[in-house]
A and B are shown apart, each in its own frame.
Chain A
Amino acid sequence: MSQLIDQYQLYRIRAKRDADAFASIYDRYITSIYRFVYLKLPTREAAEDVTSETFLRFWNAILQNTEIRNVRAFLYQVARNLVVDYFRKEELHKYVVTNDEDVTSSYSTGQVSDRGREQKLIEARADLRIVLERIERLKEDYRDVLTLRLIDGLSFDDIAIVLDKKPGHVRVIYHRAVRALDKLS
């Protein structure tokens, strides 16, 4: 149903020049894309930059008449590429844990952040680093599928679009990756 709504909004943008349809897609996905990049990037500012750049690229893709079969998966694909680009540009090969006290994203309730909540975000970032370091020895495909599935909660079909693979192949990779975790321990 959600895909159907997205396709309808795309149709409105392309056929009816409806700018509000783009706003609807933005409203629907802004939080999930921000969450997707937030813990993977070292600072809040970087997460905000990557998030807004993702939607800008999405708009450019619409202008260039790029075929978008699944808006959600397309946005995740763009965001993921931007995160990779970020680290490439910064010449950082490892994910960095920050203790940046200036982090202001609110947690869960949307209320003004307090130290307890921010501590939780910092711990989650550290956990993510530990997990990523741990699975660093796995094949790149395995790492991607595991994080997209288990952390970001994407469906196999969406992961297939993000990684440009077939859904069946993604399932096979996922099951092999889970089995490979046994060998790591």
Chain B
Amino acid sequence: MTKRDLLHKLQSVRNTERGIVPDADFVMRTRENLMIQVKNSIPLASGSVHVKSFSLKTFFSHRLFQIVRAPALAMFSVVVTIFGGSVLSVSASDRSLPGDFLYPIKIASEQTRLVLTSDKAEKLKLKAQFVDRRIEEIKAIATTEVPEKPVRLKQAAEVLKRDLNTVKLQLSEVKDEDTMAAAEVVKIVDQKSSEIAEQLKQVKDDAPEEVKESLAEAQIAAVHTGVTAVEVLIKASENPDTQWVVSEADVKDSLAKKVDSINETLTVSADKLRVINDSSMISASQMQATGTGVNPLLGMTSSTADQLNTASSTLQEARVLLSENKLTEISSKLLEAVKAASQAETATNQLVASSTQAVLDIPVDNSDVQGQSTTILNKTESTATSTNITPP
């Protein structure tokens, strides 16, 4: 039996053990018997039992007391001084959104919880929960009618980006922990970052134009965090202490999902670009016919196509590394592909806006042109599901 088989058997025993539940009759019977004995012996015991004086040290060990005392008192004074110590205000702030009066209290109370957590893995888990709150805040602002929506969305995206960067730093701190608890938390972070990137993509599609860039940056930060998490998982999958929490198959599965997600972004951008290219050709010929000059969109589409090509070939290299099982080399390649894909996406979106404007500016029969721009937009939506990237 190999060491791996042995660890699998241990895991299987552990899983079974977790499912064992004692017989309810036995639990109740034993409880009743014990309680009879306890109630009978308590009065007799009271004389001999020496009760220590009540103090915080009754509950904390001396070492724990020393560690916790200083930061706890410091944070307590800060919270009392700044927020007047109102528990109610902290509780009310939980529902606040970026831009609200109570929002800074929400952020500060999260910071307090983080400061009071000493275990690195627990800290990461807590921060991941806070990142979840950030995406919920973004969705809440995006789906409800709130004043100054673009400003608040931008602010929420900035806070999310900052929190994701903190998670990334925390990931590098737990990298050397080599514990099962840490590996399990990193797995959660990996999964959550993919979900966040996906949710941001959906919010971004319907968001006002001026906040799309901020949301795209937050999306890159989410993917970046996911890739960093996978780097830690790769290490965990090679460590005998943690490899049965994170297997190589888990890591490959996560990497494959990331490759697919980047590929999807590239496909959508490529389809949009193809539509813009077609419309540019049409408008260029119209400009030529009316003698109003050369369509500038033609040059822009070709540079965006180059960006898309770069992203696509980088992604292809990442895919090859994955198929060759070169897991340690793939993360940098994926990050490169994400950045390139995002730049291409931003450029494509700017082109979509410019092309609509350019079509409207052509001094020909307006009814025809309006018809064409509508066709362009419809075509963009209808081709977004295509999977082949063939830049124009």
Residue of B nearest to A130 (CB): B9
Task: Enumerate B39-86 residues with CB–CB distance to A below 8 Å.
Answer: 39, 41-43, 45-46, 48-51, 54, 58-61
A19: Cβ under 8 A from any B Cβ: yes
Q: How far is the CA of A62 from the CA of B41 in the complex (A)?
A: 11
Asked whether A17 lies within 8 Å of B42 as measured between CB atoms, the reply is: yes
A152: chain B residues within 8 A (beta carbon): 14, 17
B289 within 8 Å of A by Cβ? no
A64 nearest in chain B by CB position? B48
Complex alpha-carbon distance, A182 and B241, angstroms: 12
Contact between chains at A124 and B33 (CB < 8 Å): no
Given A8-B59, A39-B16, A110-B24, answer yes or no on A181-B34 (Cβ-Cβ < 8 Å): no
Contact of B42 among A19, A44, A120 (CB under 8 A): A19
Q: Is the CB of A128 within 8 A of B13?
A: yes
Contact of B10 among A63, A120, A121, A131 (CB under 8 A): A131
Q: A34 and B20 in contact (CB under 8 A), knowing A131-B9, A185-B2?
A: yes
Are A124 and B12 within 8 A (Cβ)? yes
- Is A52 interfacial (CB 8 A cutoff)? yes
Specify which chain A residues have a CB less than 8 angstroms from the CB of B49 in the assembled complex: 14, 62-63, 65
Judge if B23 is at the interface, Cβ distance under 8 Å: yes
Is the contact region of chain A dominated by helix, strand, or loop, or is it mixed? Answer: helix
Cβ-closest chain B residue relative to A183? B3
Cβ–Cβ contact B50 & A65, under 8 A = yes
Cβ contacts A2-24/B at 8 Å (1 or 0 each): 00100110010111010100110
A52: which of B6, B19, B30, B54 is its contact (CB, 8 Å)?
B30
Contact A51 B23 (CB under 8 A): no
Is B1 positioned at the interface, with any CB of A under 8 Å from its CB? yes
Q: Which one of B16, B26, B45, B58 has the greatest number of beta carbons of chain A within 10 Å?
A: B16
- Tell me what chain B mostly uses at the interface: helix, strand, loop, or mixed: helix
B230-242 interface bits toward A, Cβ cutoff 8 Å, 1 = contact, 0 = none: 0000000000110
Out of B13, B31, B46, name the residue touching A39 (CB < 8 Å): B13
Contacts of B46 in A (CB 8 A): 17
Q: Mark B353-379, 1 if CB is under 8 A from A, else 0.
A: 000000000000000000000000000
Partner of B59 from A7, A51, A175 at Cβ < 8 Å: A7
A182 CA to B240 CA, complexed, in Å = 10
Q: Is residue B249 within 8 Å, beta carbon to beta carbon, of the partner chain?
A: no
Contact A184 B18 (CB under 8 A): no
Supposing A31-B22, A120-B16, A127-B9 touch, asked if A22 and B51 sit within 8 A by C-beta, the answer is no
B144: interface (CB < 8 Å): no
Determine if B10 and A182 form an interchain contact, defined as CB atoms under 8 angstroms apart: no
In the complex, residue of chain B having the shortest beta-carbon distance to the beta carbon of A104? B23
In the complex, chain B residues whose CB is within 8 Å of the CB of A105: 20-23
B63 CB to closest chain A CB, in angstroms? 11
Q: How far is the CB of A95 from chain B (nearest CB, A)?
A: 12
Q: Which residues of B contact A69 (CB under 8 A)?
A: 61
Whether B21 pairs with A151 at a CB distance below 8 angstroms is no
The reply to whether A151 and B10 contact each other, CB–CB distance below 8 Å, is yes
B35 interface residue per 8 A CB criterion = yes
B88 within 8 A of A: no
Please report the C-alpha to C-alpha distance between residue A14 and residue B54 in the assembled complex, in whole angstroms. 11
Task: Check if B14 sits within 8 Å of A151, measured CB to CB.
Answer: yes
Q: Please, which residues of chain B bring their CB within 8 A of the CB of A182?
A: 3, 240
Assembled-state Cα–Cα distance A137/B42 (Å): 47
A106 within 8 A of B: yes
State whether A7 and B6 are in contact (beta carbons under 8 Å apart), knowing that A63-B45, A121-B16 are contacts in the complex.
Answer: no
List 17 other contacts, CB 8 Å, given A51-B30, A107-B21.
A4-B59, A4-B60, A8-B59, A17-B46, A19-B42, A23-B38, A35-B20, A39-B13, A56-B34, A63-B41, A65-B48, A105-B22, A124-B12, A128-B13, A130-B9, A153-B14, A182-B3
A positions within 8 Å CB-CB of B: 4, 7-8, 11, 13-15, 17, 19, 22-23, 26-27, 30-31, 34-36, 38-39, 44, 48, 51-52, 55-56, 59, 62-63, 65, 69, 104-108, 110, 120-121, 123-124, 127-128, 130-131, 134-135, 146, 150-153, 174-175, 178-179, 181-182, 184-185
A-B contact pairs, 15 of them (CB 8 A): A8-B59, A14-B49, A19-B38, A23-B31, A31-B21, A34-B20, A39-B20, A52-B34, A63-B41, A63-B45, A63-B49, A65-B50, A107-B20, A124-B12, A131-B6
Contact residues of B with A, CB < 8 Å?
1-3, 6-7, 9-14, 16-24, 26-27, 30-31, 33-35, 37-39, 41-43, 45-46, 48-51, 54, 58-61, 240-241
